[in-house]
Amino acid sequence: EHQHTRYNPLRDDWVLVSAHRMKRPWQGQLEKPSPEDVPRWDPNNPLCPGTTRANGEVNPQYEGTFVFPNDFPALQPDAPEPDDSDHPLFRAAAARGVCKVMCFHPWSDLTLPLMSLAEIRAVIDTWAELATELGASYPWVQIFENKGAMMGCSNPHPHCQVWASSFLPNEARLEDRTQRQHLSQHGVPMLLQYAEQEAHRKERLVVENEDWLVVVPYWATWPYQTLLLPRRHVCRLQDLSEDEKNSLASIMKRLLIKYDNLFEVSFPYSMGWHGAPMGPYLEEDCGHWQLHAHYYPPLLRSATVRKFMVGYEMLAQAQRDLTPEQAAERLRNLSEIHYKQKVK
């Protein structure tokens, strides 16, 4: 009940927890929830089967997942080298890569929690295939989904993006360093040890099965942030067994149903997978890494009130009002039947 700070060993930083602030009245910005009446197929939606994209290409009549090059890529494979710097305070480095878009399903009105387990498993299989394909050449392959207009998603069709880069991004370099240090100091991968601790303590556990668990991490910054962890030591998506992929589909569906049920809205979030680097790192020992997925949802009090990362967060350090234990308990106690599929 009293403010305190918590250490995040994965990022080597701290978060201020101020639970008593949840009692303050809210007179700030209210968000407009995403529309619930998304058409199943829209001839003007460039992600739908059979429609024309911005570059003039026509999508095939796909029936499962569909992957294509991003028409507006942030990274391109043939970018030139930047000019040499004349001062150490003005440095630049080469940045090359490939950006792809992956549609989860041909229907625009079907999000992951409403998809079947077989359809979610197909998404996981495609993720693993892309990680293998792009990871053969690039050291980092970032799979990420921005869901909902609140998180900057410009298209309601269920999809994610995959960016492969010639460099390790900031978060990857940070997690590489902290996990390497933890293994060196404690003799066990950090997130493997963390998963074992959370499975035992249970106070931040949201859902679990034989191969996976989802927790609101002890150091969570976003109100209903979660961390998806395997129970065994595994470095990369493509290293998962068939059974682990099936149980991953199940636990993803259970988590995302709970998210939607929290405020009975298609829950916005940004999520992404972190695993051991690839490319040249495939020849190195990356045993300090543990595969995991981050979910960062912005909603705080309702479908219309979100958490803003401003002021103190931008200028000092992360701060949260709802404790991770309170958030986990609320998510844990929610139904695993989607609110849209409940019998009235």
Nearest to 296 by CA among 111, 101, 126, 150: 150
Contact 276, 235 (CB under 8 A): yes
Could you tell me if 99 and 69 are in contact, meaning their C-beta atoms sit under 8 angstroms apart? yes
Annotated binding-site residue numbers for UDP-alpha-D-glucose: 21-24, 54, 70-71, 146, 152-154, 161, 307-308, 312-313, 319
Give the other-Cβ count within 10 Å of 305's Cβ: 17
Residues marked as binding for Fe cation? 175, 274, 292, 294
Residue from 159, 182, 186, 233 carrying the catalytic annotation = 159
Tokens of 167: 């460099």
Q: Which amino acid is at 295?
A: Y
Classify each residue of 45-66 as buried b or exposed e, where b means 16 or more C-beta atoms within 10 Å of its C-beta: bbbbbebeeeeeeebeeeeebb
Residue 162 tokens read as: 């995959």
All residues at 6 or more sequence positions from 121 whose CB lies less than 8 Å from its CB, including other chains: 245, 246, 249
Respond yes or no: is residue 2 known to be catalytic. Answer: no
Catalytic residues: 159
